[in-house]
Amino acid sequence: MDQWWNDLAFIHWPVEPASVVRFFPPGTRPDVWSDGQTYVALVPFAMRRAGFGRGLPVPYFGSFLETNIRLYSVDDAGRHGVLFRSLEAARFAIVPFARIGFGMPYTWARMSLDATSRRDGDVVTYDSVRRWPRRGLRSRLSLRLGEVVEPTPLETWLTSRWGAHSRVAGRTVWVPNEHAPWPLREASLLELDDDLLAASGVRAAGVPLRALWSPGVRARFGRPSLVR
């Protein structure tokens, strides 16, 4: 699959690894940074021009807003990836397809992305209200965009993820992806009113890291393989 991830924000919190082990499928475990912590992220963005192979993007269904809550994973083969706790999507048809075909916990939500230019800088606001399941869960994030930054080693480790782990038909799978390095800007957190992190069952162990925003990258997903 070929797609673009645009207008993407990263909000990260540290997490005690022992508190999230139960969420990881067999053959995987929490990926831990040198500080002894793993991390959880709130990541809203716009999916654009998604399609199969290198052909044309899928009309209508290939572009939609998405917000995910993700943990950081590693398997016994040493592949570092992400493990999704939830993925809000503004296209209902995506939800059953992704749940059945890829084991991804997609949900249906009403979503919006608003970007405005102000005298004190550009502001980006993401809004999401869950429609199904657990109707009514909300997430609102507003950021003032700052300067282009070089990511710290930890930020590089968190954003440079080359695949995802999932559970499909009772088996743990690895779905590889590739993309260019993220062009990143630091961002000031103006507002964060979020139900999704608490609903995921993940409890943060500290304050969030600095917020990051990116205009986006092109990503390609490969064929899933079993985790042994």
Summarize pLDDT for 15-37 with one digit per residue, the tens.
Answer: 999 999 999 999 999 999 999 99
Query: Which segments of the chain have a pLDDT < 70?
Result: 49-62
- Closest among 4, 2, 1 to 217, alpha carbons compared: 4
In total, how many domains does the chain have? 1
- Closest among 157, 209, 158 to 13, alpha carbons compared: 209
Domain of 119 in residue numbering reads as 2-226
Is residue 65 within 8 A of residue 111, CB to CB? The reply is yes
Rg of the chain in Å (alpha carbons) = 17
- Closest among 77, 82, 68 to 20, alpha carbons compared: 82
Q: What CATH code is carried by the domain that includes residue 33?
A: 2.40.400.10
CA distance 21 to 67: 23
Q: Return all residues near 137 (Cβ < 8 A) that are at least 6 apart.
A: 129, 130, 195, 196, 199
CA distance 174 to 226: 6
Q: What is the pLDDT of residues 182-204, one digit of tens each?
A: 999 999 999 999 999 999 999 99
pLDDT of residue 60: 45
CA distance 93 to 96: 6
User: Which pair of structure tokens corresponds to residue 37?
Assistant: 């912590």
